[in-house]
Structure 1
């Protein structure tokens, strides 16, 4: 039995459209399933926990939505030991990208039914669990601005989720100011002046495919950190095209770190996000929880790091 977790509003309505496509395929194949429509991010975890508690034979929980929808149910899946399947229907879909999951509903469903899992790490902090990245500073402010904008809905409506983030970058660049930041990685503290952003990553990309930590691997037990500091607004603007291909990591004003725990403290309050969802403006402290989640991924068959082979829910 599969639990389908659907966010109808994800991706500007793409969640509901994708569900209709997936539902037809499940019925045509006579695959046992139950549909659960999440009402809000705040209530999604309890909804999923209650659904998973009703029976012991769940093969997987398949999320139809974006990274934020996945984020809202991580605690429930980890607690119940049920593998995560993803049928992407959001703006960024970086979880799907990070695990090699196809972006089309048909192919993504086929992957979710293959019963091949990766053991993935999670980022754990005071605000709960995160799968892709915890970002703070400029790019977090971009996400906050995009999520509160009208242009996000318009871009989603035309299938151009990444364009919303590009507009958000230009929007945020006008008002955002850099400041000093302290980053402590595995107990070693470093201070950076005129810091723009600090991103703690478990997967290579966020923001619709921006390769902020291209070397990040979901199952290596480590967090990858990107700090951008000591540059002007113009230099920051020129930096972003290099992030699309991950070429920024070699630049002198980009510092890359790696460790099992990371704390970030900006000199002035700065927004933070986890999987694109707001985490407030308090200083960050996150740690890696190795192998805390099983994810249905085609990379498992390819023998990627963290591959666990066939996966079955533990109940």
Structure 2
């Protein structure tokens, strides 16, 4: 039995439209399924937990929605044998990108029915679990501004979710001020003056495809950290086009760090977000939870090869 968790409002209504397509495909294949409809994060985890306990033959929990919908049910699937699948229907869809899941509904459904999964890590902290990244500073302020804007709804309506974040960057650039930050990875402290942002990543991208930590892998037991510091507003603005392809990592005002645990402390209060959801302001401390979530993914074969022969996998990336 397949269980679909559907947010019909995600992506400006894309969730509902996507479900209609998936429902038709499931009926054509005569595959058994059940549905759970959720319109907000509140109560989604409890609803899913209650549904899962009523039977034991679940093949997969298939989420139709965006990163926020996925975020709301991580606790219900954490440590479970039931794999999670993603059929992207949000504005950013960075979780799907990170697991190599196609944005096409039909192709994403094929991945969901494949039975090939990755033992994925999660980011854990005082604010709960995160799958993609915890952003702190400028980019978190961008996300807060975008989520509160009218232009996000307009961009979603025309299928241009990434455009909303570009507008948000320009909007935030006018008022945001950098400050000192301490970033501790596995207890080793790194101090940066005039830091704009600190992003702690489990997956390579957020914000609709911004490759903030292009080297991040969901199953390596490590968190990747990007710090942008000591640059002008003009340099920061010019940085963002390079993030689309992950080329920013070579810039002198970008520092990349790694660790199983990360603590971030800005000298002045800065917003933080995880999977696009607000984590408030203040010091941030998170850690990696290795292999806590099974995710059905076309990348499963690559993941299995890396676990079987880490040296060969590293060599193939060079």
Aligned to 1:220: 220
2:46 aligned counterpart, secondary structure: helix
Q: What is the rounded CA distance, in whole Å, between the counterparts of 2:245 and 2:112 in structure 1?
A: 28
Contact in 1 for aligned 2:66/2:92 (Cα 8 Å): yes
Aligned to 1:313: none
Q: What is the rounded CA distance, in whole Å, between the counterparts of 1:184 and 1:193 in structure 2?
A: 15
Aligned to 1:115: 115
Measured at CA, do residues 265 and 303 of structure 1 come closer, stay the same or move farther in structure 2, by a change above 3 Å? closer
Aligned to 1:184: 184
Contact in 2 for aligned 1:220/1:306 (Cα 8 Å): no
Contact in 1 for aligned 2:79/2:293 (Cα 8 Å): no
Q: What is the rounded CA distance, in whole Å, between the counterparts of 1:76 and 1:6 in structure 2?
A: 15
Aligned to 1:89: 89
Aligned to 2:255: 255
Q: CA deviation at 1:283?
A: 1.1
Measured at CA, do residues 230 and 125 of structure 1 come closer, stay the same or move farther in structure 2, by a change above 3 Å? same
Aligned to 2:175: 175
Q: What is the rounded CA distance, in whole Å, between the counterparts of 1:7 and 1:81 in structure 2?
A: 23
Q: What is the rounded CA distance, in whole Å, between the counterparts of 2:177 and 2:12 in structure 1?
A: 31
Contact in 2 for aligned 1:165/1:207 (Cα 8 Å): yes
Aligned to 1:105: 105
Q: CA deviation at 1:80?
A: 3.7
Contact in 2 for aligned 1:262/1:287 (Cα 8 Å): yes
Aligned to 2:146: 146
Measured at CA, do residues 303 and 184 of structure 1 come closer, stay the same or move farther in structure 2, by a change above 3 Å? closer
Instruction: Could you list the structure 1 runs, at least 4 aligned residues long, displaced by more than 6 angstroms after superposition.
Output: 305-308
Measured at CA, do residues 302 and 189 of structure 1 come closer, stay the same or move farther in structure 2, by a change above 3 Å? closer
Q: Deviations over 1:116-163 (max 9, x none)?
A: 001111000001111110110000011111111110111001100100
Contact in 1 for aligned 2:219/2:303 (Cα 8 Å): no
Aligned to 1:47: 47
Aligned to 2:7: 7
Q: What is the rounded CA distance, in whole Å, between the counterparts of 1:268 and 1:42 in structure 2?
A: 30
Q: What is the rounded CA distance, in whole Å, between the counterparts of 1:307 and 1:104 in structure 2?
A: 29
- Alignment of 1:200 with 2:200, yes or no, is yes
Aligned to 1:71: 71
Q: CA deviation at 1:306?
A: 6.7
What TM-score does the superposition give when structure 1 sets the normalisation length? 0.95
Q: CA deviation at 1:12?
A: 0.4
Structure 1 runs not aligned, ≥5 long = 309-315
- Alignment of 1:160 with 2:176, yes or no, is no
What TM-score does the superposition give when structure 2 sets the normalisation length? 0.95
- Indicate the structure whose relative CO is greater, using CA pairs within 8 Å and at least 6 residues apart: 1
Contact in 2 for aligned 1:121/1:218 (Cα 8 Å): yes
Q: What is the rounded CA distance, in whole Å, between the counterparts of 1:281 and 1:178 in structure 2?
A: 15
1:8 aligned counterpart, secondary structure: coil
Q: CA deviation at 1:79?
A: 4.8
Q: How many residues align?
A: 308
Q: What is the rounded CA distance, in whole Å, between the counterparts of 1:232 and 1:60 in structure 2?
A: 47
Q: How does 1:18-37 map to 2 (within 5 A)?
A: 18-37=18-37
Q: What is the rounded CA distance, in whole Å, between the counterparts of 1:93 and 1:208 in structure 2?
A: 6
Q: What is the rounded CA distance, in whole Å, between the counterparts of 1:282 and 1:148 in structure 2?
A: 21
Contact in 2 for aligned 1:119/1:306 (Cα 8 Å): no
Aligned to 2:238: 238
Measured at CA, do residues 306 and 143 of structure 1 come closer, stay the same or move farther in structure 2, by a change above 3 Å? farther
Q: What is the rounded CA distance, in whole Å, between the counterparts of 1:37 and 1:300 in structure 2?
A: 28
